[in-house]
Amino acid sequence: MYKKGVFLVALLFAGVFFVSTAAMMLSITATQSQPSVLAIVPPETVFESFVKGQRFTVNVSVSNVADLKTYELKLSFNKTVLSVVGVKFLFEEKLPSGDVSVTPGVIHLSVTYEGGSITTMESAALACVSFEIKNYGLSPLHLSNTSLLNSMGQSIPHDTQDGVVLVRFHDVAVVKLEASTYETYVGRVVFVNVTVKNLGTDTERVNVKVYYNNTLFFNSSQFNLSAGESLTVICEWNTSSVLPGHNYQIKAEVSVVPYEADVSNNALIDGFVKVKIVGDINNDNFVDINDLVAWDAAWGSRAGDLHWNPQADINGDGVVDNADGILIVQNYRSGV
């Protein structure tokens, strides 16, 4: 009876061992039925703003692999965007040992697990790579010259999945501001050209505002500005609402975009525009005989003539004639 019990226990143990072994073999067989995958995890790393010296990590991971004993690979990256801080071998309980070689733009890994082999269906990290950001831009993380070997030294078929690191840079600026004139008569229209540029890496949605002193006189609708694109906005300033005899500072602003790196260039000041009394040709804030003399000297002239004086063309019709003289007379002895 005792021997029969021992026999039944032994039989049961053998059955459990057989089932366990069979299950493990089925798992390995199922794992090996599809190619293993060597991948960069996460596959995409995005930084919305550029911070020089910022550090981060990615993993070189494997999945769907059985009896992995040794691996070798090269990982290339954009050396102008990233630099390598360090590499750590994982599965430490398997006693990884090997070599790391880092040259500009390339990491070479060669690792053997002295404490056993690796079998895993799920994604598992083999190595952790620490990078430091040097500049903004795009850096593919490309796996090449890869090799996976089992305990028998046999090659394990596998696919590779690359990664990418994107360091965005957001910066828009007013790069040019120019008024059509810096001396005009009250009531005249001054045209102001504002050139904005996207200095960053992504399309931005912006709008432009233009001021005289602190008074807003132009506010554009929003528009898209592609990376590297420049656009000139032409706006009109009707000076009817300002007091003559004064200088007015012209300023343009482009809206701040999310994650903007430098907001100091979002505004630009372009000197002053003098708004004069009608008829004050010589810009002394008084209409008198001196203005009549200046008008007489330019009488009959047009743009391009030797004696052309644009300030003598008081009504802005392109010629200095009697109509301009009448305006001087009408405002004679006016002053501020």
SS3 labels along 186-227: CCCEEEEEEEEEECCCCCEEECEEEEECCEEEEECCCEEECC
Q: Is the pLDDT of residue 29 over 80?
A: no
Query: 273-314: per-residue pLDDT in tens?
Result: 999 999 999 999 999 999 999 999 999 999 999 999 999 999
Question: Could you tell me if 58 and 112 are in contact, meaning their C-beta atoms sit under 8 angstroms apart?
Answer: no
Classify domain 169-276 by CATH architecture.
Sandwich (2.60)
Number of Cβ atoms within 10 Å of the Cβ of 281: 26
Per-residue pLDDT band at 336 (split at 50, 70, 90):
confident
Phi, psi of 323 (to 5 degrees): -60, -35
**Rounded distance, CA 109 to CA 75, Å?**
8
Query: 111-158: per-residue pLDDT in tens?
Result: 999 999 999 999 999 999 999 999 999 999 999 999 999 999 999 999
Query: 190-246: per-residue pLDDT in tens?
Result: 999 999 999 999 999 999 999 999 999 999 999 999 999 999 999 999 999 999 999
Query: 79-100: per-residue pLDDT in tens?
Result: 999 999 999 999 999 999 999 9
Where exactly are the structural domains of the chain?
33-167, 169-276, 279-336
**Rounded distance, CA 194 to CA 218, Å?**
11
Per-residue pLDDT band at 33 (split at 50, 70, 90):
low
CA dihedral 86, 89, 95, 98 (to 10 degrees): -70
CATH topology identical between 33-167 and 169-276: yes
Per-residue burial over 312-327, b = 16 or more CB atoms within 10 Å of its CB, e = otherwise: bbbeeeebbbeebbeb
Residues with Cβ within 8 Å of residue 268, at least 6 apart in sequence: 174, 175, 176, 177, 251, 252
Calculate what percentage of the chain has a pLDDT beyond 90.
Answer: 88
Question: Could you tell me if 216 and 210 are in contact, meaning their C-beta atoms sit under 8 angstroms apart?
Answer: yes
Q: Which of 59, 79, 74 is nearest to 123 (CA)?
A: 59
Residues with Cβ within 8 Å of residue 271, at least 6 apart in sequence: 182, 249, 250
Give the C-alpha distances (Å, rounded to integers) separating 146 from 10, 105, 159. Answer: 46, 17, 9
Residues 125, 129, 135, 138, CA torsion sign: negative
**Rounded distance, CA 184 to CA 85, Å?**
61
Per-residue pLDDT band at 110 (split at 50, 70, 90):
very high
Residues with Cβ within 8 Å of residue 179, at least 6 apart in sequence: 190, 191, 192, 193, 250, 270, 273
Tell me yes or no: is domain 33-167 CATH 2.60.40.680: yes
Question: Could you tell me if 196 and 178 are in contact, meaning their C-beta atoms sit under 8 angstroms apart?
Answer: no
CATH of 279-336, one of 3.40.50.620, 1.10.630.10, 3.30.420.10, 1.10.1330.10: 1.10.1330.10
Question: Could you tell me if 208 and 194 are in contact, meaning their C-beta atoms sit under 8 angstroms apart?
Answer: yes
Residue 8: per-residue pLDDT: 37
Per-residue pLDDT, averaged over 40-59, amounts to: 97
DSSP state of 5: H
